[in-house]
Amino acid sequence: LVSPWMENGTVLNYLEIHGHANVDKLLYEVAQGLLYLHSRNYAHGDLRGANILINQDQSACLADFGLSVISDATFSGSSTRAGSIYWMAPELIDPDHFGGKFKTPASDVYAFGCVCVEANLRSETYPVAMFKIVTGTRPERPPGMLDMLWQCINTYWVDDPAARPATEVVVQNMM
């Protein structure tokens, strides 16, 4: 599969060069992309800033579908370990403790919460913040992040995948 060249690079590169004025628009577009995938029973499986590209119209496009899986309870395919640990839902890191081992829309919602933080932080502070998430704590709210978005993010990365909002709710939250 060959896609068009995305001259603006990743969302992180784009925000570093152009500032954060339109970060909310870009995150909304990412949420819409997830909704599209989830409505077709696919989970992305590796959502993170490096896998979100910005096209010539300054719109976010999901990329790197190498780890995407059919999201169906009867599917016994891709399990936990492939992907980027800083964005990985707890049930994928420790399936015995959290009761899940497959990438699902709920694990994508978790990763989306991480992407929201990633997109609102300077790149050099993100690994420290994400290490906290992996160890079961949460990073502090990024400076300038709206209260409403922070409250939503805290529902996206709850440990229980069944307690995370549906992707439709995530899209509504981002409007």
Please state the domain extents for the chain: 11-64+78-165
Q: Is 146 exposed, middle or buried (CB count within 10 Å of its CB: 0-12, 13-18, 19+)?
A: exposed
The whole-number pLDDT of residue 20 equals: 87
Beta strands in the chain (DSSP E): 42-43, 52-54, 60-62, 69-70
The whole-number pLDDT of residue 76 equals: 39
Helix/strand/coil percentages in the chain, nearest 5: 50, 5, 45
Tokens 């439709």: give the residue. 168
Beta strands 60-62 and 52-54, pairing class: antiparallel
Low-confidence stretches of the chain (pLDDT beneath 70): 1-2, 65-83, 85-86, 93-101, 122-135
- CATH for 11-64+78-165 (3.40.718.10, 1.20.1440.120, 1.10.510.10, 1.10.287.610): 1.10.510.10
Which one from 24, 46, 108, 159 is the annotated catalytic residue?
Answer: 46
46 is catalytic: yes
The whole-number pLDDT of residue 98 equals: 61
The whole-number pLDDT of residue 128 equals: 67
The whole-number pLDDT of residue 127 equals: 66
